[in-house]
């Protein structure tokens, strides 16, 4: 009997995680079965309890439940505690262990897959919601020269900067004018509305990378605007999705899958 895992969210039908984990299981020979569980918006904890009672060994948690999963976990990794959000649960005999692999997924995609140097880089993180907060601990661990968070609603960016402290600093979009960055990460949900965040022109340093944590068919509005602004390198969040999944798989199974063929498969299906 394979061990059971699932992605839990609402909605969850569109999730690529079952395909990714099926590929990881095939590649590593781990006895893993990975499904989808739709949790009612008011019954996340009960849904998790039931899945665990039915023999589930762990779960990925997606929107809008990452903060609830953080509260449900009885033991937390440092990075999950700092992010105040959990995307990976492991059901141990005596605890529900909660971790957050989004940040390491982003950093591994940037550094390993795309060859972007984060150490010493000037990084701009656009957005100050759950997605931005989730990746902030890992971006800080990458030892950038600076990490600036900019948000349409400035107090949310200030709040994030206060929570993490130096070197994280907060800016309004307008106050970025005249600054330059080596890496700009879009952690807003603006693409869902078909928009790009209204950033001032001229933010991309020579050779800079634009990274959109979102992905979809075709170029996202943020990446289209980055291209027009002369960003040297553009990437969407599909690599981050595969890398965060690999880190979850490692937390559950103690085995690291090879992400490159799985990312290539997803790209070929896109
Ligand atoms: P998530 O968990 O995806 O981060 P969230 O907490 O609702 O979701 O945060 C959404 C983020 O996208 C916020 O930073 C939001 O900016 P505001 O705080 O000003 O609302 C940002 N966002 C959404 N639509 C945007 C748009 N059209 N332009 C700029 N930022 C946008």
- Pairwise CA distance, residues 151 & 219, whole Å: 22
Atom of ligand 1 nearest to the CA of 173: 29
Residue 131 Cα: closest atom of ligand 1: 4
For residue 58, what is the enclosing H or E element?
strand 56-61
Are the C-beta atoms of residues 69 and 77 closer than 8 Å to each other?
A: no
Residue of 84, 110, 114 lying closest to 98 (CA atoms):
84
φ, ψ of residue 159 to 5 degrees: the values are: -65, -45
Query: What's the gap in Å between 88 CA and the centre of ligand 1?
Result: 23
Domain spans of the chain? 3-100, 103-238
Nearest Cα residue to atom 2 of ligand 1: 130
Architecture of domain 103-238: 3-Layer(aba) Sandwich (3.40)
Pocket test for ligand 1, best of 135, 172, 188, 192 (most atoms within 8 A of CB): 188
Tokens of 98: 């909660």
Q: Which atom of ligand 1 is nearest to the CA of 152?
A: 19
pLDDT in tens, the chain (270 residues): 899 999 999 999 999 999 999 999 999 999 999 999 999 999 999 999 999 999 999 999 999 999 999 999 999 999 999 999 999 999 999 999 999 999 999 999 999 999 999 999 999 999 999 999 999 999 999 999 999 999 999 999 999 999 999 999 999 999 999 999 999 999 999 988 999 999 999 999 999 999 999 998 889 999 999 999 999 999 999 999 999 999 999 999 999 999 999 999 999 997
Q: Does ligand 1 have an atom closer than 6 angstroms to the CB of 73?
A: no
Contact by Cβ (8 Å): 105, 131: no
Task: Find residue 183's DSSP bridge partners.
Answer: 123, 209
Element (H, E) at 61: strand 56-61
Residue 174 structure tokens: 């307008």
Q: What separation in Å is there between the alpha carbon of 234 and the centre of ligand 1?
A: 21
- Under CATH, which number does the domain 3-100 receive? 3.40.50.10860
- Ligand 1 center–CA 143 separation, angstroms: 25
**What pLDDT was estimated at residue 218?**
87
| Cα 78 to ligand 1 centre (Å) | 25
CA–centroid distance, 30 to ligand 1, in Å, is 38
Catalytic position from the list 57, 66, 117, 143: 66
> Does the annotation count 57 as an active-site position?
no
Q: How many CB atoms lie within 10 A of CB 260?
A: 12
Query: In angstroms, how far is the first alpha carbon of the chain from the final one?
Result: 32
Measured between alpha carbons, how far is 60 from 66 in angstroms, rounded to an integer?
Answer: 9
The predicted structure's pLDDT at residue 12: 96
- CB of 152 closer than 6 angstroms to any ligand 1 atom: yes
Question: Is 64 touching ligand 1 by the criterion CB < 6 Å?
Answer: no
In this prediction, residue 192 carries a pLDDT of 85
Q: Please tell me whether the overall predicted TM-score, pTM, comes out greater than 0.75 for this model.
A: yes
Which H or E run includes 209? strand 204-212
Q: 3-100 with 103-238: one CATH topology?
A: yes
């Amino acid at each position: 009997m394979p061990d059971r895992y699932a992605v839990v969210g609402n909605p969850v039908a569109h999730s690529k995680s079952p395909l990714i984990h099926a590929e990881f299981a095939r590649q590593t020979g781990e006895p893993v079965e990975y499904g989808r569980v739709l949790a009612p918006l008011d019954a996340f904890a009960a849904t998790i309890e039931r899945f665990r009672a039915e023999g589930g060994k762990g779960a990925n948690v997606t929107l809008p439940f990452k903060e609830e999963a953080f509260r449900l976990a009885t033991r937390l990794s440092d990075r999950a505690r700092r992010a105040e959000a959990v995307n990976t649960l492991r059901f141990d005999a005596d605890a529900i262990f909660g971790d957050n692999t989004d940040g390491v997924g982003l950093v591994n995609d940037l550094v390993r897959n795309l060859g972007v140097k984060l150490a010493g880089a000037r990084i701009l993180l656009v957005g100050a919601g759950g997605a931005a907060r989730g990746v902030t601990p890992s971006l800080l661990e990458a030892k950038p020269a600076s990490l600036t968070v900019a948000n349409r609603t400035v107090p949310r960016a200030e709040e994030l900067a206060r929570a993490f402290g130096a070197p994280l600093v907060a800016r309004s979009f307008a106050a970025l004018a005249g600054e330059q960055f080596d890496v700009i990460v879009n952690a807003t949900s603006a693409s869902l509305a078909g928009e790009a965040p209204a950033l001032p022109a001229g933010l991309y340093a020579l050779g800079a990378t634009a990274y959109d944590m979102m992905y979809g068919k075709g170029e996202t509005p943020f990446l289209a605007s980055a291209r027009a602004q002369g960003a040297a390198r553009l990437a969407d969040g599909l690599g981050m999705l595969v890398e965060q999944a690999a880190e979850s798989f490692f937390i559950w199974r103690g085995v690291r899958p090879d992400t490159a063929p799985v990312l290539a498969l997803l790209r070929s299906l896109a």
